Amino acid sequence: MDMERINDYCWKIPRHGNMRVDGVIYASKRMLNDIVNDESCQQVVNVACLPGIVKASLAMPDIHWGYGFPIGGVAAFDIEEGIISPGGVGYDINCGVRLLRTDLAASDIAPKVREIVNHLFREIPTGVGSHHKNFKLGKEDLRDVLKEGACWVVRRGYGDENDLAHIEAEGCIRGADPQAVSERAKERGKDQLGTLGSGNHFVEVQVVEEIYDDAAASVMGLFLGQLTVTVHTGSRGLGHQICDDHIEIMLAASRRYKIELPDKQLCCAPVTSPEGRKYFAAMAAGANFAFANRQMITHWVREVLEKTLHMGPAELGLSPVYDVCHNIAKFEEHMVGNASRKLCVHRKGATRAYPAKHPEVPAVYRDIGQPVLIPGDMGRYSFVLVGTEKAMEETFGSTCHGAGRLMSRHQAKKICRGRNIEQELLEKGIIVRGASRETVVEEVPEAYKDVADVVDAVAGAGISKKVAKLRPLGVIKG
């Protein structure tokens, strides 16, 4: 595949064939060598063929092969002429990350880390099909969660208004309709609020190891040596079922509206069509469930830390820095040429990265830009960034979302035969608890790109700015 160098961190796949726009990949030259060996580059080209796409089919440096759209892909579509696609959001609707800060130095609680990890593992259900034994939703409650998101959880006493002020979209995507969600999806989700699930989802206890931007870190309440906790999970079985349900609908819709698809996994419908509106309403409901899920887990984390450390809320000082979506389609205003246009922006394995002064950035962060949370693998580090004006100009205010897989779960299991991954991580000072040994093996650090390379690429491209690095002390995995 022909590629043109735009700069050291940006590469163009020129428009050809049925492409309506160019493809653009953000990556260093070294990272690009791995990326081009993956089918994800062809997926960037395929997305560029869809009706109504605006400017370019974009990919972040953590790009890898996904369902239809690449994971790490960003694409914006015109409201009148464009489409909306389940493949552009993914199965785990609003899989996302929440960073929690405390007032504590990690060194002060070092002897308690194992106890904290074990207690988190007991209180937060993990693994495939996990559900919470003490927290179940009735039909009316589930309906309200799908409409209100994290707001419903806070209204029930599991958090406060400050939590909501530090969540993308304040924890609720408007336009959600519980009636657009199938009974099968609701059945799968009703007992899963406040659960971690499986795969790469985790709750991680961390220490702030490095500060790159003192002013931005101070605004976020971050300091060197600080104890933090990151929560990474999404909409669980409910979101997966919503995607499954609507893929069938969209396959028929693609034929009905005579949309030529280079890959049937890109099945879609016009944004304004009945099928498009129904998918958005269901997807928004799934996203709201995910916001509520992370809010409930925040409550369990608070309880665990308070009990384990024998501290009250004021002494602990646990509060969200921010909460961001990874898999979402949203209606947003962006400049295209010299005009502001309303677009349907798909971010799949990508994070919103709005700059300073943007009206949707919480007031407390208006002078520094939106916090961007980039988790790495469980053996290395994660990063906190902020959005930039260049991201608004080039990527619809988007950046990377994580490390990105280098190898499949099957490959990871193959290279780990005969190894004790938990012991290897313990020797690095990281305590790991997983739902099964298989889960831990599948998430072995070398299965992922080095997230530092990913972050350096987006920082080098100017679409994000580094603020802090977090090192894991203990982690529970799904």
Map out the domains of the chain as residue ranges.
4-477
pLDDT digits (tens, 9 = 90+) for 321-330: 999 999 999 9
Instruction: Report whether 61 contacts 454 (CB < 8 A).
Output: yes
Diameter of the chain measured on Cα atoms:
64
Question: Residue 4, exposed/middle/buried by CB under 10 A (0-12, 13-18, 19+)?
Answer: exposed
Unique residue bearing structure tokens 């409930």: 296
C-alpha dihedral (346, 349, 355, 356), degrees to nearest 10: 120
Q: What CATH number is given for 4-477 in this structure?
A: 3.90.1860.10
Average pLDDT, the chain: 95
Please state which of the ranges 302-311, 360-369, 404-413 shows the lowest mean pLDDT.
404-413
Task: Please give the average per-residue pLDDT across 69-96, as a whole number.
Answer: 97
Closest C-alpha to 364, from 162, 203, 195: 162
Unique residue bearing structure tokens 């991580």: 425
Task: Please give the average per-residue pLDDT across 212-233, as a whole number.
Answer: 98
Closest C-alpha to 372, from 396, 388, 345, 353: 353
Distance (Å, rounded) from C-alpha 212 to C-alpha 383?
Answer: 10
Distance (Å, rounded) from C-alpha 440 to C-alpha 127?
Answer: 11
Catalytic residue among 166, 240, 401, 410: 401
Active site residue 326: no
Per-residue pLDDT, 133: 60
C-alpha dihedral (277, 278, 282, 288), degrees to nearest 10: 30
Task: Please give the average per-residue pLDDT across 219-247, as a whole number.
Answer: 97
Per-residue pLDDT, 136: 78
Q: Amino acid letter at 134?
A: N
Task: Please give the average per-residue pLDDT across 382-402, as a whole number.
Answer: 98
- Position 408 pLDDT exceeds 90: no
Task: Please give the average per-residue pLDDT across 367-380, as a whole number.
Answer: 96
Which residues contact residue 408 at a Cβ distance below 8 angstroms, ignoring those fewer than 6 apart?
none
Phi-psi region of 234 (alpha: psi -120 to 50; beta: other; left: phi over 0): beta
Question: Across 243-313, where does the E strand assignment appear?
Answer: 269-270
DSSP characters over 100-160: EEEEEEGGGGGGGHHHHHHHHHHHS-BSTT---TT----HHHHHHHHHHTHHHHHHTTSS-
Beta bridge partners of 347: 74, 328
CA 444 from centre of chain = 19
- Position 312 pLDDT exceeds 90: yes
Cα-based angle 244, 63, 368 (whole degrees, multiple of 5): 105
Per-residue pLDDT, 407: 85
The reply to whether the predicted model has a pTM over 0.85 is: yes
Question: Across 9-119, where does the E strand assignment appear?
Answer: 10-13, 22-26, 56-64, 71-78, 83-84, 96-105
Distance (Å, rounded) from C-alpha 109 to C-alpha 308?
Answer: 10
Task: Please give the average per-residue pLDDT across 345-373, as a whole number.
Answer: 98
Instruction: Report whether 394 contacts 245 (CB < 8 A).
Output: no
